[in-house]
Amino acid sequence: MNIRWSVIFVVSVLSAVLAGCEQENGAYYLKGTAPGSKNPVEKAVSKDPDDRAKAITTWSAQSWGLQGSYLEYYAIASKSDESAIVRSVAVRALGKAGDPKYLPALVDALRDTSPVVRWDAAVALDNVIGPQAVDPLRKAATTETNLDGRIAAIKALRHYRQENVVQTLIQCLAEGPFGIRYQAHLSLVETTGKDMGMDAEKWKAATASPVAASR
């Protein structure tokens, strides 16, 4: 099933879900929508990227919008939508949901052409955790050109108690602007349970023995 038909299929499923719930709960899904305006399903298939972003924002603000077919739709949008704004909002929604099933979609988003999407992906990976994210986060921590995205990747690495992660964090501590070094220090403290301050050489000496494998 290609991307276009995948989107159509998922939106069709969402339409059925919305219709069923509307019968049970009146205009619940249209709460806050003015008469005659587009509902979230109409916005999801709109040509206007602002509409598509608003649909995701509306759904992901509710607990029921952070599961099932909704997440499938966000995952597709995070990869295939032509608008960086929509891809960014979709990535945020996946991060908010915290479902590890969609970890691959967030890892893919770390390679997006938009620095904002990459930043949001790194932030999301601080909430969606899995070994598949380690190497992509290490790469982002050292090569990401967007400062905020790089800092977010360094923060997300705090979840991985691994020797290669510690060495990456020490590398970040030894170079770059203050924001990079500050977050690297915080992540090192959380990862190792030690605090050697902001001196990279002290950290190298303190972590000379192997750190326990991934927790």
Asked if residues 201 and 207 have their Cβ atoms less than 8 Å apart, the reply is no
For residue 212, the model assigns a pLDDT of: 42
Nearest-10 crossing angle of helices 84-97, 68-80: 140
3-state secondary structure of 38: coil
Q: Of the CATH numbers 1.25.10.10, 3.90.700.10, 3.40.50.1000, 3.30.70.20, which one belongs to the domain with range 1-128?
A: 1.25.10.10
Q: 49 vs 52, 88, 207, CA distance in Å?
A: 5, 11, 48
- Which pTM value belongs to this model? 0.83
| CA atoms of 187 and 165, how far apart (whole Å) | 10
What does the pLDDT look like over 14-69, one tens digit per residue? 554 454 444 334 333 434 444 455 677 788 888 899 999 999 999 999 999 999 99
The mean per-residue pLDDT over the stretch 185-199 comes to 96
For the chain, which residues make up each domain, given as ranges? 1-128, 132-215
Question: Which conformational region is residue 181 in: left (phi greater than 0), alpha (psi within -120 to 50 degrees), or beta?
Answer: alpha
For residue 84, the model assigns a pLDDT of: 98
Asked if residues 142 and 151 have their Cβ atoms less than 8 Å apart, the reply is no
| CA atoms of 171 and 141, how far apart (whole Å) | 9
Element (H or E) spanning 152, and its range? helix 147-156
Handedness of CA 120, 121, 122, 124 (dihedral sign): positive
What does the pLDDT look like over 130-177, one tens digit per residue? 999 999 999 999 999 999 999 999 999 999 999 999 999 999 999 889
**Token couple for 101:** 């099933």
| CA atoms of 129 and 34, how far apart (whole Å) | 39
CATH 1.25.10 fits domain 132-215: yes
For residue 3, the model assigns a pLDDT of: 47
Asked if domains 1-128 and 132-215 share a fold, the reply is yes
